[in-house]
Amino acid sequence: MPLINEPTDKETILVVDDTPDNLIIMSNLLEDKYIVQVANRGEKGLKIARSDSPPDLILLDVMMPEMDGYEVCELLKADLKTADIPIIFLTAKNEVDDEISGFNLGAVDYITKPIQAEVTLARIKRHLAIKKVQDKQRATAEKLRNQLSYLQKISSMGQFTAGVAHEFNNILGVIGGYTEISQMIVEDIGDDNFKGNLGQNLSAVEKGVKKASRLIEKMLVYCNQHDFNEGQKIDIKPTGDVINDVLSRLDEKEYAKTILTISSCSENITIGTMGLNQIMSNLVNNAHYAIKNMENGRVDISLQMTQLDGLHCAACGNEIKGSFTKLRVSDNGCGMDSETLLKVFDPFFTTKPVGEGVGLGLSVVSGLVHQANGHIIVDSKLGEGTIFKLFFPRLNMD
């Protein structure tokens, strides 16, 4: 006897009929091939169909008290959650004239009573097969819509960002040039106090210019106007060394809260050193920002080889399938709610206060990862932390 929780590949059929004998007959006919659910009235059938585990197909009696089959069918087809479930009407022979009404409401077929076992099973099998094809087509269409939306957003924002970045860069060039000239003039000033104050001001301007230049660099990476991998060979520097370079720039307190595990992976990520440095810097800085007010905050970084099949990239929606090198960066910090999680890779979206972030870091990460033919998955719960999993294709297979 199988266990109740034993996993099964059987499809589920819901039978809705107000006659107990009919429910018994249909259950006996179907239970060897399918999981069978039964309802003796329309309201109960609706409740089962709208549950978290909806049936794959519904056999629905036409003539029932209180709520007949036509009304049940109409309500099911009007609900997005149940609209795609195929419905086959069960009808007495004297009701066949009403078939057109059922088809107009969205039913896929009729089975007349008394039922013929072989015909019934054949029709059920046929419509379940059609549903599988349609489900696959709907999933593909949704995937393509998501990819198109993503590409349209990236394209339009990329063009805007590139224009702003180039104009901003020209302005910074003027500011930087006059700052250098002013620095030379300061050297000739005789008043030491005035010279010192002016020198400090110019140093502050110079720092601001450098900070703005780094921001422009991120903007240009985002809109693909500048590729960190251009002119470089992949794997110029071992992945572990690049990660350690990033970690070495952390302050002592942040470094103490960071755990790195790469011993299980001997392969390097196939991406240029500067690109990987950008990826790691953004992910690590975000992780430490999430735990900055926590005594027991922790950031874990790991590198390992993995085989995937059937997962989907959070940024582009494409399927992740094959052999990959996985870079994982996680924290136990503030986490994100589901609404924030949907926007996390959007350009210029940030949860940080004004002045602490412009919302390009994760957009840059997404761009660089996808330039390397990689993908991203992100998991997060508010108050529990965040996990970024980056998957880079392995080129040197064993």
Write out pLDDT tens, residues 57-99: 999 998 898 899 999 999 999 998 999 999 999 887 665 566 7
Is the pTM above the cut of 0.85? no
Phi then psi dihedrals of residue 35, to 5 deg: -85, 130
Query: To the nearest 5 percent, what fractions of the chain are helix, strand and coil?
Result: 50, 20, 35
> So what's the pLDDT on residue 203?
79
Which residue in the block uniquely carries the two structure tokens 């794959």? Answer: 56
Is residue 306 included in any domain, yes or no?
A: yes
| CATH number of domain containing 281 | 3.30.565.10
- 381-152-212-378 Cα dihedral, nearest 10 degrees: 20
Is residue 299 within 8 Å of 331, Cβ to Cβ? Answer: yes
Residue 362 is part of which domain span? 239-393
Task: Quote the CA–CA distance of 321 and 319 in Å, as a whole number.
Answer: 6
Last-in-domain residue among 222, 249, 284: 222
| CATH number of domain containing 25 | 3.40.50.2300
Which residue in the block uniquely carries the two structure tokens 């046929």? Answer: 126
Is residue 229 within 8 Å of 171, Cβ to Cβ? Answer: no
| 338 and 364 assigned to the same domain | yes
> So what's the pLDDT on residue 381?
92
| 96 and 35 assigned to the same domain | yes
Q: How many helices and strands (H and E) does the chain possess?
A: 11, 10
> So what's the pLDDT on residue 363?
78
The count of domains in the chain is: 3
Last-in-domain residue among 170, 197, 222: 222
Q: How does pLDDT run across 102-116, given as a tens digit for each residue?
A: 888 889 998 888 889
Band (pLDDT 50/70/90 cuts) for residue 189 is confident
